Chain A
Amino acid sequence: MSWHFISKFYLIMKYVLLYISLFIATIWLFIWSLTLGPIHIPINKIIDLIRHPEATLEWRIIYETRLPRALIGVLTGSCLAIAGVILQYVTRNLMACPSLLGINQGAQLGILLILITAPFTQLPIVILYALVGGAVAGLVTYLLVYSMGVSALKLVLVGQAINALLYAISLSLIILFPQKSGVILVNINGSLAGSSWQSFHTVAPILFIAIIACYVYIKKIHILSLGEEIATSLGINIKWLLAIAFIIVTSLCSLSVSLVGQILFFPLIAVNFSKIILKSNSPFHLLIVAMFIGAILMTLSDCLMRYIYIDQEVPIGIFMSLIGAPVLVLCARIKQ
């Protein structure tokens, strides 16, 4: 009895410690990202400002640009990561990743389409197009894989093929509509530079709803990942659940893309990292850890880019896939 108690206590302590350290890391990165920029604002100054907000230039710089940027970084990072978790459970596939399934590229194409037909459209409409584009691309990929019989390799290959196809279509569109200045330099490479409170306010509520939905359905989705028979015997409506999961994943990914652009491999890296850190199969904890890891990864890469190139904006999307690919390879090795 006491042994049982101790082991349970130990387990709880383990999670508590894990969460505390992840939380501290996130907060630390968050504050670091607030200090970074062309105008140097030291940490103690920031703490001062938080205690006694006054309408100085420093305060406005932090409040108006760095804070939304940091928040969007944290938000999109965690959203992409949990989208990865859900997708892996649903597909029962360790290599499933929204950016490899064409969802992100589809959202990108959707944005490109609306910018070609009507440059400088209002943000909500752009986001709608991103959603539709992502949903269609994701659906097409998954239906294709499904019709061939699902396997890890097929998922990656078909996703990669659809990605390449969408990329080629985007490029051809740019070549075929040269006069549309809206097309010029769409946020192709993934960057947090365009972050503002406005984009945060428009997108964040939907993302929060999606995140909550993840937590509500994660148990059922996990059961589904154990086998369809078990799920049906427990009274789960599989078709419904799949539809919900699909809606959650596409909205998480497409909305993140509309905020920060295309970031290849990101969800896959975040999920795999989380699994290594967590070392347990609890879906609930995986979801939480993945959220933290996603936020940390996104903020960290943005901070690094801003730390190295102080006066310039360098897209983090390219940087992410630069560090992402080796991590992916490593993960593929460790899992064996």
Chain B
Amino acid sequence: MKLINSSFLKKLFAGACALIIATNANASTSYPLKVKAENGEVVIKTKPKRIVVLEFGLLDELKLLGVKPVGIGTSDATEGNDPEHLQTFIKTIPSVGTRDEPSLEAIAKLKPDLIIGDYSLIANLLPQLNKIAPTLLMNGILGNPNEQVKNLKTLAKVTDTETKVPAILKQYNKIKAQAEKIAAKSPQKTILIGFVTPSGVFRVLTANAIATPILNELNRKNLITEVDNMHRVDITVESVINKNPDQIILLLTDGNKAPYEKLASNPLWNDVRANKENQVYFMDRNVWAKTHGIEAMEIMYKEAMSSGMFNTESSK
């Protein structure tokens, strides 16, 4: 008797909470809703229940908002695994093909009421996608941290989950502030960030890449600045010596260190100052170079903090 009572009370309480949240939410989001996106103003008639999302950063943000899409675009043939923090989430959702050439039939089959995609990847599919469902194009994979926050807010508004945003942003800002605080203590340093191809070539992310603004906030300056439109270039070890970065971040594909060992077998690698001073750090390529959602950025900050790249002692 008592047991039932307590559970009843709990339910009642939860219901009341939900009601408050719901009314709150209703106050901010009312459908039909007009949303401004990269493809102009999009009208969403009712609260979307079946969402197809075609980019990892946007998927990341939906996951934080507690919205489970019905279909997703995944990595293409040459990219390796999907980002780790999303993998278990991705496994439970059917794939509709790659992020830049999804199978339109597969999307249509899922009968989505909203499609969320990346402007730089699928802008040319917009007319087709619009026939399936209202489509929101955002600046996902190439969006800087501010744009990611903006995306999160837009997605929250669209999916009627705005109440969750403050908590997410609080958590994000907390980690970010924490990282920045630690970073501020160590002096400003120059950096190279990139990954090694199987043939042993160092492929570095340029100042245009999304990792750069994050590193900037962490008091780290990307040295590859002279290219205008590319996100990565190949450089030799000699070029690394010439750039002479204080620190190097090596992004590992699926945690595999073998390509790095190939690079390190180059005798000149020992002449790289960052290597001599033990300032080479390993991080996850799938997070740093493939997605830039809020959670991905949290992981980046955490990885940067735990890597020890801000320890002032070890730089001797």
- On A, residues with C-beta under 8 Å from B are 37-39, 57, 60-61, 64-66, 115, 119-120, 174-175, 177-179, 181-187, 191, 193-194, 196, 198, 311-314
Contacts and interface: CB of A to CB of B under 8 A. Distances in A.
B69 to A, nearest CB: 21
A37 B233 contact: no
Given A60-B271, A65-B237, A174-B77, A185 B242 contact: no
A120 B263 CA distance: 12
Nearest to B75: A178
Interface stretch (B103-111, B196-204, B213-221): B196-204
Q: Which of A39, A175, A194 has the most CB of B within 10 A?
A: A194
A181 B266 contact: no
Contacts of B16: none
B79 interface: yes
Contact of B236 (A115, A183, A313): A313
Contact of A196 (B226, B253, B254, B265): B265
A178 B236 contact: no
Interface of A is mostly: loop
A39 B241 contact: yes
Interface string B99-136: 00000000000000000000000000000000000000
B79 to A, nearest CB: 7
A181 B256 contact: yes
Given A38-B235, A61-B268, 11 more contacts: A38-B239, A57-B271, A60-B271, A61-B241, A61-B271, A64-B267, A65-B266, A120-B262, A186-B199, A196-B266, A311-B235
B28 interface: no
A115 B200 CA distance: 14
Contact of B254 (A38, A181, A194): A181
A34 to B, nearest CB: 12
A38 B266 CA distance: 17
Contacts of B76: 178
Contacts of A184: 78-80, 197-198, 253
Interface string B230-269: 0001111111011100000000011010110010011110
A185 B226 CA distance: 24
A124 to B, nearest CB: 15
B81 interface: yes
17 contacts: A38-B236, A38-B243, A39-B241, A57-B241, A61-B238, A65-B236, A119-B256, A120-B259, A181-B80, A181-B253, A184-B197, A184-B198, A193-B234, A194-B200, A311-B239, A313-B201, A313-B234
